Amino acid sequence: MSDHKRPLFSRRELFAAGAAAFAFAGTGRAQDGQYDLLLKGGHLIDPKNGISGVRDVAVLDGKVAEVAESIPASKGFKVVDCKGLYITPGLIDLHVHVFAGTNERGSYAGDNSLYPDGYTFRVGVTTVVDAGCAGWRNFDVFKDTVIDRSQTRILALANIVGNGMRGGRYEQQLDDMKAGPTAELAKKYPEIIVGVKTAHYGGPEWQPVEEAVKAGEAADIPVMVDFGSNLPERPLEVLLGEKLRPGDIYTHCFAGNRREMLEDGSVNPGMFEGRKRGVYFDVGHGGGSFKWSVAAACLKAGFPPDSISTDLHIGSMNSGMQSQLNTMSKFLALGQSLDDVIKESTWNPAKEIKREELGHLSKGAIADISVFTLRKGDFGFVDSFGARQKGNEMLECEMTFKDGKLAFDLNGRTRQNWQELDLHYGRQGDPRWDGILNRQRSGGGRRRR
């Protein structure tokens, strides 16, 4: 990020704009700021649009209204100084497990999953894709229990297993892996279900993959594969070179558990063949699926991931994985550029799930926005196997906006110092830009910026 000797806008300009907007509060939209929210002076990284430089971003009615090198502060009802920070589209975590609430022990349709809102906004994630926790037998429960009640945007991969990811005795039942009902479920909920998932199968048969592909073809959605056990009857090269279609997704690509890296330390040629055919490769870090030696070998060989994802669940969040930002920072430590890491966490996953209304900040786009600090220092990152990698950069979330409304603010950058308020001040914020405190607002009172 370039250093600037002078700020793009002065404190006096910001104060004047804020005072003018406050003076006209309640008297009309044009008088109290053309835009609901204006982020000024940050370094915007928007891979879809090829932008990596200082830009201002304006939001109106939950959509991106303008992106420009300089937008007058007077146009913003709420102006936030982002100088020295990075602005990106809201992050998309392509592989999570969030079907919580059923109280089923040892199940990803239960106790192994997490309610998402406590783990997303604080790391800049606005959209998650649940990776197969539910199948056609229990998806309606997932929708009612979690999806419909969450602030995070939850999309989902339907498990080819009708019972979903409820543990070994369910996930090994070939007679519950059915393309027809899975495709019908996807057609019933096209706004939510963005793919099909097959995972954890330990037998030699290809049926789980083949049924998932049939369902994907019938519903015109991609398939994500967690390839389960490494068996000679179904080698990785055949999966990537024959079974999967262009646009399908191979997750846990740097695990090393299924011969992604060969015994001599080279990358399995089947990985390159799969990419050549159009298969996407997703990180899916998790508690046992990311290994430094495999990731480093792949990057050295010119094989970066298409998407960076966490495989968030109770077994990964407090171990090596930790969060989306920690996982992204690992790829900075391995030598990837910040622009590439952002692309692999925004625009690329949006394309993989065919939801191209997400992952960018074009004019008119959904205003999911993340704001970050890139910290410099002496850091350490741990893989799924307990091995450490040193790094000198770490991403930290400053602010997250979902649909144009504030969802997280680490350092209160959107807030006014209490000493500047009335002694008996009430709840601060305004519904034009604030999605946190105003959810609890009881009504009435003066509008606050």
Residue-range domains of the chain with CATH: 89-373 (3.20.20.140)
Which tokens hold the place of 156? 């989902």
What whole-number distance in Å separates Cα of residue 233 and Cα of residue 207?
12
Phi and psi based region of residue 125 (left: phi greater than 0; alpha: psi -120 to 50; beta: remaining)? beta
Strand partners, 129: 155
Which tokens hold the place of 208? 């789980």
* Residue that has been written with the tokens 């009309």 in this structure: 28
Q: Where are the beta strands (DSSP E) in 310-387?
A: 369-382
DSSP 240-278: IIIISPTT-EE-STT--TTSSB-TTSPBPHHHHHHHHHT
Sign of CA dihedral 383, 385, 386, 390: negative
What whole-number distance in Å separates Cα of residue 58 and Cα of residue 64?
6
pLDDT in tens, the chain (449 residues): 443 333 434 444 444 444 433 333 332 333 468 999 999 999 999 999 999 999 999 999 999 999 999 999 999 999 999 999 999 999 999 999 999 999 999 999 999 999 999 999 999 999 999 999 999 999 999 999 999 999 999 999 999 999 999 998 899 999 999 999 999 999 999 999 999 999 999 999 999 999 999 999 999 999 999 998 899 999 999 999 999 999 999 999 999 999 999 999 999 999 999 999 999 999 999 999 999 999 999 999 999 999 999 999 999 999 999 999 999 999 999 999 999 999 999 999 999 999 999 999 999 999 999 999 999 999 999 999 999 999 999 999 999 999 999 999 999 999 999 999 999 999 999 999 999 975 654 443 344 45
State in Å, rounded, how far the first CA of the chain is from the last one. 29
Which tokens hold the place of 315? 């077994």
* Residue that has been written with the tokens 């945007």 in this structure: 153
CB 244 within 8 A of CB 213: yes
> What's the pTM value of the predicted model, to 2 decimals?
0.91
What whole-number distance in Å separates Cα of residue 375 and Cα of residue 85?
10
